[in-house]
Amino acid sequence: MIKKMKERHSIWIRIFHWTNMIAIIMLILTGFYIHAPQSFKLFSSMDTARTIHFAMAYVLTFGVIGRVYYAIVAKDAKNIVYRPIEDTKKLPSMLKYYLFLADDHPYYGKYNPGQKGMYTAWLVMAILMIITGFILYKPHLFLGLSGLLGGFLVVRIIHYAINWLFVITIMVHVYLDIAEGIPILKSMFTGKIPEDFHHGYHEES
Ligand code: HEM
């Protein structure tokens, strides 16, 4: 039987998702090498790692600008931006479901409040990485900004700490995507999901 499919992710969402993902993974790998080349023997030289890091920095910068622009013009921001009052109220029912204390949860829209929180945090984290990264890249151009953040050492610590936040949250994201079901995973490649696919929610009465 051929399943009836509906659109879940537009082509632009998929393009930005995969380019930003590749950029962030490469930034993490090259970043670890730059941090400790003796321990992470992933690249042939510091030159190679730094060149890739800076090239990916531009990919991420344009990827973030493009995704924000898309969220505004395609009116997709409402799907992904966490609204502190409204979404926090929905957190308990979501947590009950994920802690196996409830069989289902209400329908939250395209993404649940946890996902919205994560995606909004990623935007803030990416912007902080771009700001601190460019300060480290061209320190003489951003002396004022560097001072405002507490100095060059603090900038370096922020850049390294958020790197770890990315590592941890990406692992959680991939685990939850797989746990949610293969159709969810496939939809980020094909854009489509079966019309009757329900992941844990009950219809509002
Ligand atoms: C998600 C994005 C990013 C991740 C995960 C990441 C990760 C890292 C890590 C782990 C380090 C080593 C830090 C240390 O040893 O203290 C590093 C260094 C650095 N990063 Fe990033 N980074 C990201 C984005 C950027 C961006 C957008 C730029 C902008 C140009 C940038 C520029 C730099 C520079 C200049 C260094 C120091 C390189 C050196 O000293 O040779 N990074 N990054």
**Mean pLDDT of successive 10-residue stretches along the chain, which has 205 residues:** 87 98 98 96 96 98 98 97 97 94 92 97 98 97 96 98 98 93 94 84 53
In the prediction, which pLDDT does 29 show? Answer: 98
* CATH number of the domain that residue 78 is part of: 1.20.950.20
Cα(136)–Cα(141) distance, integer angstroms: 10
Q: Quote the pTM value.
A: 0.91
In the prediction, which pLDDT does 196 show? Answer: 84
State if residue 166 touches ligand 1 by the CB under 6 angstroms criterion: yes
Domain tally for the chain? 1
State if residue 63 touches ligand 1 by the CB under 6 angstroms criterion: no
State if residue 129 touches ligand 1 by the CB under 6 angstroms criterion: yes
In the prediction, which pLDDT does 200 show? Answer: 66
- What is the number of helices (H) and of strands (E) in the chain? 8, 4
| Domain of residue 60, residue span | 5-202
In the prediction, which pLDDT does 205 show? Answer: 38
Tell me how far the alpha carbon of residue 86 lies from the centroid of ligand 1, in angstroms: 35
Helix (H) or strand (E) holding 192: strand 192-194
- Those residues with Cβ within 8 angstroms of residue 44's Cβ, 6 or more apart along the chain or in another chain: none
Pocket of ligand 1, candidates 136, 140, 166: which has the most ligand atoms within 8 Å of its Cβ, to mutate? 136
Residues paired with residue 106 on neighbouring β-strands, in sequence order? 202
What is the atom index within ligand 1 of the atom nearest the CA of 28?
5
State if residue 152 touches ligand 1 by the CB under 6 angstroms criterion: no
Tell me how far the alpha carbon of residue 189 lies from the centroid of ligand 1, in angstroms: 29
Cα(61)–Cα(83) distance, integer angstroms: 24
Tell me how far the alpha carbon of residue 153 lies from the centroid of ligand 1, in angstroms: 13
